[in-house]
Structure 1
Amino acid sequence: MRIGKVPEAVLKRSVLKQIGHRREELVTGAGVGGDFAAVKALEGEVLVLSGNPAMLGDIGYYSVLNAVNDIAASGSEPIGVLLCILLPDGTGEADLKQIVRRAEETCKELNIQIMGGHTEVSRAVNRPVITATGIGRVRSGELVSPGGARPGDDVVITKWIGLEGSAVIAAEKERELTEHFNPSFVRDAMSFSGLVSVKGDSEAIRGFEIHSMHNASQGGIFGALWELAASAKAGLCIELKEIPVRQETIEIAEFYGINPYELNSGGAMLITAPCGHDVVKALKAAGINAAVAGRITEGRDRVVKNGDDIRFLEPPVSDELYKIL
């Protein structure tokens, strides 16, 4: 396809025709000449928006998940996404069709709708890039503030860290990894992609006193912990040995010489609550691994302890994933 907006025939055939899952909240949405989406807002509700780019791995899948994860971390119900798809010059229609197919499959699984967006071929990119804007709704009194963590709160980490990063590396470097690891090991790491959604994590703890939630993504768990505490203008103390991590993530990180704690951790959610162990029990009852890894503290020191060793966290920088891909 050439530079500019994709041809109308391509838009109808490879984009619009694939959007099938619907939500009743949508008043108007994706269509030829439809440059906006309109959503019903009920009295007493607020709409929550979040934007995220995706440019590595299965971008149709990850773009939707990452936008929805941020919505879920606010305690909101995700209802839809807007997708802005930029493609490099020469991209085939089949590639576009596959991207949209994966996005639609993900939306259907999460019961949300592709509400609109934009698709264009541009010299500004050298690989396909999607920016997804997630849309959610929540009762105004039930919104979970990102800066709501309080000193004394337990810090809960759901599932395991490094899931999204491990899954992307395993998929992109499958041949190289299978020369060093057992093929079943690599397949297991690739399967972590199925654990990246935190929508279920958020749903499993409704009814608990939750002060804040944060989706751990780019920058890894260390970056997410810093952001959580910085947003609350508080400190934290974390025990490294209590941070849940899969052996596959550890070994892939060692193979490539990267830090698993600074690797994209989409799929792990940080939760702060005064009753962290009860939250963990509820998550485990829902089949979701979780652990209390530390607590929110007074002051501004943000530390991770490993026995007698203490590491002071710093603001997140580039994700370890970019050292490999």
Structure 2
Amino acid sequence: MNSGKVPVNVLKRSVLRQLKNKRTEIADSAGLGADCAVFAPFSKGQMVTCVQEGVVELQCENDLAEAEREDLSVMPMRRIFQKCANNLAAAGAEPVAAELVIFLPETVEEPELKALMEEAEKAATDLNIQIIGGQTRVSSAVRQPIATATGYGILSEAAVTQVSAGKKLAGQDIIITKWIGLEGTADLAARNREKLLVRYPAYLVEEAAAFDRYYSILPEAATAVKSGGCTMHDISEGGVFAALWEMAEGAGVGLTIDMKKLPLRQETVEVCEFCNVNPYELRSGGSLIIASPEGTAVVEALAAEGIPAVIVGRFTDSNDRLILNEDEVRYMDRPQRDEIYKNV
């Protein structure tokens, strides 16, 4: 396709016609000749917004796209929407809507654009998010499709009260849901599948590559909000150490964590050892950090919903950020570049 706006007939046929999911919170969506969406009035709660961008995979692969899949910064469209929804949920909000901006290279043809929009709509529908507008442009400066999703969520009045109650982190328990390193393990296992199969049984490799089924943190975030005042942060780029540092730095507090309590799947241990990466600094989408003054009660509430969770430490009123590993005590380093890129 030529640089500039996508032609009107292509926009109508391969973009707008793919958008079918509707929510009552949206009074009117953007569309042809209408650049703004309108939210229906709501009397309670607050609006929450976040942005998630990424280089996306093409489903109609050509030779260049096939080569680009070796780049671990490339991701499927569904993960962009999931990350956006996770960010909203970690703020205590219910994901409602998203605007989608896509920049395409000139080499992309209309069937590929349609496939991207079908994937985006399926991802949004699975999360019960309505795509309410955006932009689709073609540029000679772009080599791979680049997508940005701006998500909108509604924080109910009850959630506002609960989340606000947990903002003072000092003295609160640190809870981690599911297991760290899930996202990175899945990416590494998929990329190194053949090499891993030489050393490990097929069931272990396939299980590791299928960890993407755990990416959503919406269930645990909703349960945590109902279980008392809390602050939450989804663990993504940089891994659990980066996420913990960011929470402590943002609140101006310290922390102490027991490294032995950080939850790891055996598949992650094996894949990380094989790929020579540190699982504690590996992208960990699918795992949520919850700070709560009633950590045990939150863990029990999560367990009742079938969600694994464990208390790994506490936030403190000092400036020290300490990692305990049996008799060893060390200071937490500032966040480093994600370990996933060592394997590129």
Normalised by the length of structure 1, the TM-score is 0.92
Any conservation in 1 of the 2:224–2:230 contact (CA below 8 Å)?
no
The amino acid that maps onto 1:200 is: P
Task: Please list every run of at least 4 consecutive aligned residues from structure 1 whose deviation after the TM superposition is greater than 6 angstroms.
Answer: none
Q: What do you get for the CA RMSD once the two structures are aligned?
A: 2.1
SS at match of 1:111: coil
Any conservation in 2 of the 1:57–1:168 contact (CA below 8 Å)?
no
User: What is the CA distance between 1:146 and its match in structure 2?
Assistant: 11
SS at match of 2:203: helix
Q: In 1, Cα distance between the equivalents of 2:202 and 2:165? A: 40
Match for residue 90 of structure 2? 73
Q: In 1, Cα distance between the equivalents of 2:228 and 2:104? A: 44
User: What is the CA distance between 1:51 and its match in structure 2?
Assistant: 0.6
**Equivalent of residue 61 in structure 1, options 78, 83, 101:** 78
Any conservation in 1 of the 2:224–2:290 contact (CA below 8 Å)?
no
1:106 aligns with 2:117: no
SS at match of 1:305: strand
Cα distance change, pair 9–296 in 1 and its aligned pair in 2 (3 A): same
SS at match of 2:196: helix
User: What is the CA distance between 1:129 and its match in structure 2?
Assistant: 2.0
Any conservation in 2 of the 1:149–1:273 contact (CA below 8 Å)?
no
Q: In 2, Cα distance between the equivalents of 1:118 and 1:93? A: 15
Q: In 1, Cα distance between the equivalents of 2:153 and 2:277? A: 35
Match for residue 158 of structure 1? 177
Structure 1: tracts of 5 or more residues without a match: none
1:31 aligns with 2:48: no
Match for residue 256 of structure 2? 237
**Equivalent of residue 280 in structure 2, options 261, 281, 287:** 261
171-180 or 119-128, larger mean C-alpha shift: 171-180
User: What is the CA distance between 1:312 and its match in structure 2?
Assistant: 1.8
Q: Percentage identity across aligned positions?
A: 41
Cα distance change, pair 79–146 in 1 and its aligned pair in 2 (3 A): farther
Summarize deviations over 1:69-96 as a string: whole Å, max 9, x none. 1110111111011111122331233333
The amino acid that maps onto 1:245 is: L
SS at match of 1:47: strand
Q: How does 1:203-222 map to 2 (within 5 A)?
A: 203-222=222-241
Equivalent pairs, count: 325
Summarize deviations over 1:94-143 as a string: whole Å, max 9, x none. 33333322222222222111111112222443322221111001135633
Any conservation in 2 of the 1:147–1:228 contact (CA below 8 Å)?
no
Cα distance change, pair 262–23 in 1 and its aligned pair in 2 (3 A): same
Q: How does 1:173-184 map to 2 (within 5 A)?
A: 173-184=192-203
In our comparison, the structure showing a higher alpha carbon Rg is 2
Any conservation in 2 of the 1:59–1:130 contact (CA below 8 Å)?
no
Q: How does 1:1-325 map to 2 (within 5 A)?
A: 1-55=1-55, 56-140=73-157, 142-143=159-160, 144=163, 148-325=167-344
Match for residue 66 of structure 2? none
